[in-house]
Structure 1
Amino acid sequence: MASYWQFCFIILLCGKVQWRHDDIQVASESCTSTSSCTTTIPNPTKYKLMGDDRSTSLTIINLTAVDNGRYTCDFLNKSGLWSADETIQVLNPAPPSQVSIENAQSGSPISNSATIIVTSGEPYNITCNTYQARPPAVLTWLIPDDVIFYVHGQSDTIQGNKYVSRKTAAITPSTNDQGKVLRCEASHPKLVTNLQSSVYLSVHVLPSSMTLFQSGIDKDNDFGQAAIYVQEDFPSSITCKCIGSFPAVEFLWKLGSSTILRDNISLQKQNNALDNTLFDTKSIIAFIPERKHHGKFIQCFASLGSYSKRRFAKVLVKGTPDSIQIAFLGDATLEDGIETNVTCRALNGYPAPLIHWYIGSRNITKDSSLQNTVNAVDRYDAESILILVPNWHDHGKRLLCQAVQTTAISSMSINESLILYISYSPMVSISARRLTSLKSNTASMAMEFVLTCRADSNPSAVVFEWFSDEAIVFNDTSNMKLHENNPEQTERETVTTSDLMIRSRPSEHPSIYSCTAISRYGLGSAVFNSSLFRKLNRDCILILDILFSKVLMIE
C-alpha cells in the first residue's frame, strides 16, 4: 500500500476549502469560526483530510494508476476564491536491475565472487549498491559473526523516476578471517528471489619490520644501516629483510635515483619463528662496487598488495686515490744541508689515506705533515708536505711518497717516486798503495808509492790540485779518472779520482801531502802524512783514513 500527501496552505478563519480530482470533489471542510468546522469526505477509505487554521492536506490511500490526474485545492470566503493544483502520475513498482559491490574509498567496482585484498588490523569499507528500483530495494549485509564489522544506514537517491540504494559495511579483518565470504542481498516486492553479490577475503599481514644492511654485518637498528661501506673491486652483497608477513613480500632494487638492478639478486623466505603462518623474506643483491657508485643511495622497495615500503643507505666505496704526484715547492734545486719542502698529493681516495715518505728504505714520515679535504664527490684529497734536509749520502736514492689505506680486507697503497739529485761539494779522501817491492829496491832503499785522491761530489770534481808541505806539486785536469771509465771499481757515478806518484826513502824527512778537488759547486780537500810509508813492509794496498779534510762551497 502506498499513500500520497498533498498540502494546501491557507489561513482558515472563516470559509470553505475543497479538494477536487479532475473537477470531482473528493473532500471539503467548512468553518464558521476557528473552533467550528465541518468535514465532508465521500470516500473515507480512499481519502483522508487533515488541517489546521493555516493549512490543509489530502492523503490518497492505496495509490494506484486510477488516481492519476489533476488535484485542485479551492479556498472560498467573503473575499473571493483562490485555487492551486498539481498533477499526479502513478508509476508501477520496478525491481532493482542488479546488485553490485564496490570499494567505498575508491569507488572501484568489485566483481561478484572476486577476492579482495585487505590488511589485517586495518579498517576496510565496502559498499553494496542497487539500481533502477521503485520503490527502493532493501539491502542487507550478511557477514560472519566472528568478523569485526559495522554496517551504516542505507541511503536512497532518486535518479529519474527510480532509486539508487547504497549500504556500506566497515570491517576490521584479522588473520582468522582468511577466505571468509561477505555477502550483500537486495530484496524487493517485485523480486521472486533476492539478488546477491559476494566477495572473498584475502587477508594480508604487513611485515613487522624491514631492514637494509650489508650482508654479514649485524644491523644496528630497526631500519638497518644509514651507510654501507664496500671495497672497490671486491665482491660485496647487501641484504634487505622483511619479518612476519603474509604472503611473502616482493622486492625491487635501485641504485641512485633511476637505475633498477635486476641481476645477481637472490630471494629467500622461511616461516616466521613466532607464527609459522607468516613469512620472513630477504633479498640479497651481489655486486662488485665501482668508484662511480660512491655516494649513491642503494634503495630496496618491499611491496605487498597496495603496501609499499622503502629502505635506503648511502654506498661508500673504499679505494685508493686516483692519482698521486710529488712536487717541490719553490726552487726545485736540492742542496746538501739546505732545507726544502716537498709536497705529495693523493686525489680522490676514500677514506682519507695516510701518506708515508721514504728515502730508499728509510722511513722519514715523521718530518711531514698531512691535510685531508673532502672534494665535490665526497671523497678525500690528501696533501702531505715533507720538510726535507738533503744529505749528500742520499744523492741518487729514490724519494718515495706512498698513500696507504688499510681496510678489514687488506692494506692497499699507491706510490709515486723520484730520484734525488742533490748538489754537494767534493768529499775528498786520500789512499796510498806501493808500486815497487822491498827486494827490488834493497840497494837504494827507495819505494814508489801512488797517492789516490778520491772526490765524491755533484756535480763531479773537474780539477785536482796536489800540495806537498803547502807547495803545489801537481795540477791535474787531464789525468783525472771518472767512475764510469773505471768499471772495476764499485763507485758512485759522482766519484772522480786523481793519482800522484811518489818516491820515498826512510831517511827522508816526512812530508804532508794534500789534495784539493774542485767542482762547479765547490771544493774539498784532504791531507796525507808520508811518514806512514814506513809501515808498508809487504806487497799490498793500504787504504788510509782521512787525516784531515775540509769542504768549501763555491758561491
Structure 2
Amino acid sequence: MAELWINTIFRCILSVVLCTAQDIHQLTVTAGDNVTLFCKSTTDYPTWTGPELRNGYVQQYNNHGQSSFPNPNVLEQKRLRLGWASDKSSLIIHDVILSDQGLYQCSTVAKVNISVRVPPRSPMISNTEISAEDTLIIRKSESQVTSLVCISSGGYPQPLVQWYRGTTGTQPLTSTSAVSTEDNSYNVTQTYTFSPQRQDDGVLYVCQSSFQTAPRHITTTSVKLFLYLKPNPPTAVQTLLVSAGHQVTIRCTTAGSRPAASIIWSYRNTEHTGEQTSTLDDITKTYTVASLLKLQVSAEDNGQNVQCKVTHDLLITPAQLTASISLNVAYPPIVSVSATNTTVKEPNAILSCIAKGNPDGSYSYGKWIQRWPGYNVPVLERPGSETLELTALTYEHSGFYTCTASNGIKIFGTNTEFVEGAAVQLLVKSYPIIVRLDAKIASKLNKNKTVEVEYFSNIAGSDVKLYKIVNGEMKAVTLFSVTKKLVEIEVPVFSHLIKTDGTGADFTVQIKSEEDYGFYYVVVSNIIGSSNKSFEIIPTKPPVSPSDFTIDYVQHNKARLSWRRGYNGGLIQTFVIQLGTDEKWSDVEVFDRNTEDKDRISTILTDLFDSTTYFVRLYAYNEEGNSPLSETLNFTTSPIKVKTTVETNNTAMIIIGTVLGLIIVALVVFLIYMIVQRRRELIRNKDVSRNTSSRRYVNVDGSKTLQTKGVKLKNASHDVQTSESQYTELDKDLKEAESAYDAISTM
C-alpha cells in the first residue's frame, strides 16, 4: 500500500501533475441526466476510479494518460456511458442510472460522492374515471366519510407526497402516508380522509409528489370531486285557492339533488303519488324535482295538513325531508241558529245567525224563516240580519227557525250563494189557548149537558175550571166530571191555521133549574198563566128559519137550490124542501150535520118536467119543533128543443118528408098532453102533510140521488166532508120509519 502511494506521488512529480488534497464532494444527480465529475490535472486523462468493486478493490476506468476505458471488470453499459470533458481531466457519465451512485476519485485525490435521485412516476389517484370533458373525476357522496388515495411509486429516495385543495399554492391538507420499498425505489401512498360537503362538489384536489431539494422534479395529478348530493329541504305551496267540490293542486319542489330525488305525499294517513318531473341544471348539474298532487276537496278538507316527503339514497338521518302545507279551501258558510227558550212573560227573544265558512268574517244575511213543527210552510219571514229580535212574545213565536247567510262562495254545482242552516227549535212557553168552544150550547131542563172545549198548551200540565156569571160576578162551578183526551186541533199561527196536537176537555154541567142557564166562563191554566172564554147555555128550541134561499139555475129537467142555515136550536136540524105545482106540495128532506157552519147548502132537483112551472119553499125542524117557512120561490123548466133537418133535391121527397114530420109532431104533442094530464092528476092526489109517508130524506154530506114521486134531488158539493157517523145511522132509521119524528123518538 505504501508502495502504491509512493508510486503515485512519483508519477505526479514526473508528470508534473498538480494534485491537491480535497474533501469528498457530494453531488446529487437525477437519473437520466449527464453528470460531469470535475478534476484539475496537469496531465490529460488522469486515472479515474468508480464505486464498482471487484474482489474488494475499486475499479480503475482507464490507465493514466489514456482516453479509453478498457477495464473489462467494469460493465460494458457503464463503459459506454463514460466520456471526457473538454478539459480532458473531468469525467462525464451519460444517462446516469441508480447503480452509478457512489464514490468517484480522480488520480486518488479528487473525490466525488454521487447520489442518484430517481423521480417517481406521476402520482396515481385511486378510483377515478374520465369524464365527458376528458378530465379526471372521482365520485363520492355528500356528508359520507370518504378518502382520496394518491400513490407515488418508483421514486428514489423517498419523495414527499401531499394533497392540496384547489391549487398547490395553498396549505397542504392533513393526510397520512404509507411507504413501501421495492427494487431500490419507494412507493408512497398518501391518503386524505374527510366528509365532503356540498361546497366541495366540483373542487379540484391535487396530489403532488416532489423532492425537497429539486423543485424541477415536482409532479402532480389533479382530480375533480364529483359528489352525489342530497336534496335541499323541500317547499310546498297551494297553487290556487279553490272552492269546495273542486280540485286543488299542491306543488312540492326540492332542488340540488344528484341523482334526482323522489317525492311522495301523505294526506289523512294515506300516501299518494303525484305527477313528478325532474329538471337538470346545466350549470350545477343538479336536479330540481317537482311533484304536483291533485285532490278533490270539500269543506272538511280546509285547514288539513298535506305533507310532502322527499327521499334520496344519501338521506340517512333523517331518512326523508318533509314540508307541510295547510289546505286553503273556500266553502259556503255552515249556518246554524242559536236560541234560548223563553216565556211570553219576557219582553223579547233574541236569536243569532251563526255562519262559519271560508273566507270567514264578512257575511251577507238573507232571511229568517219560522216554521211550525209538522207544518212545512213558513209561518213567518223576516229580513236577514245577524240577529233576530222577537217582541210581544206569544206561543206563535214558537217553532223552528232558520237563517240564510253567504260569504260569496256558491254551493258546488249551483248558482246558490245563500245557505240555509240547520233549524233550531225555539219554545216560547205560553198559557193555554182555547181554540174551540161553542158560543151557545142548548140543553133541556133537568138534564146533564156535556160541554166540549179544545185548547192548545205548549207545556205539560194544564187545568180546566168552570165559572158562572151570577149578578156580574164569576162563581166557581163544581164540575160533575172532567175528561181530558188528545185531539187534533187547528191553532192560529199568525195568518195560518195549523193542525197540531191539542187537548180536548169534556165536562158535564147539571141543568137542574132555570138558574143554571146563562153565561159561563171556561178557564184553562198552566204554570205560565191562564186564558178564558165565555159561552152560554140556553134552553133547546126549534131551529131558526133558513135564509138567503135562492134558485141558482134551471134546465129542462133539473134545478139547483141553495140556502144558509139558521140557528139549529141546539139540536140536529133537518131541512125540508117543498116542491109543488098549483099550490100542491111534495116534501124532500135534507139532513144537516154541521150545526153552526155558515157556508151555503146546495142541492139539485132532478127528473123535472120540461116547460113546467114549479114552486119551492124551505123550512127546518128538530125535536123541539119546526122553523117558520122560508119565502116561496118559483121557476119554470125550459122546453125540449127538437131540431129536424131534411135535405133533398127532389120536390116529391120534400113533400113526403113534410107530411111525415107533421104526423110525428102531432103524435108527440098528443103524448105530451097525456103525460102532463097524468102528472097533474098525481100531484093533485098527493098528501101535502109534513108527517105523510111521502117524505124522502137525503144527507147534505152525501151524493145520493133521491126521487120523490118522479122528482129526484141531488146534493151539490160543499165544504162538508162525508163520513159514516151517527147522522148516517139516523138517515137509515128515518128511511125505515113512518115519519121523521118516529125515527128520532126511537133513537
| TM-score normalised by structure 2 residue count | 0.38
Q: Which has the higher helix share?
A: 2
Hey, which of these two has a bigger chunk of strand by percent? 1
Relative CO higher for 1 or 2, CA cutoff 8 Å, sep ≥ 6?
Answer: 1
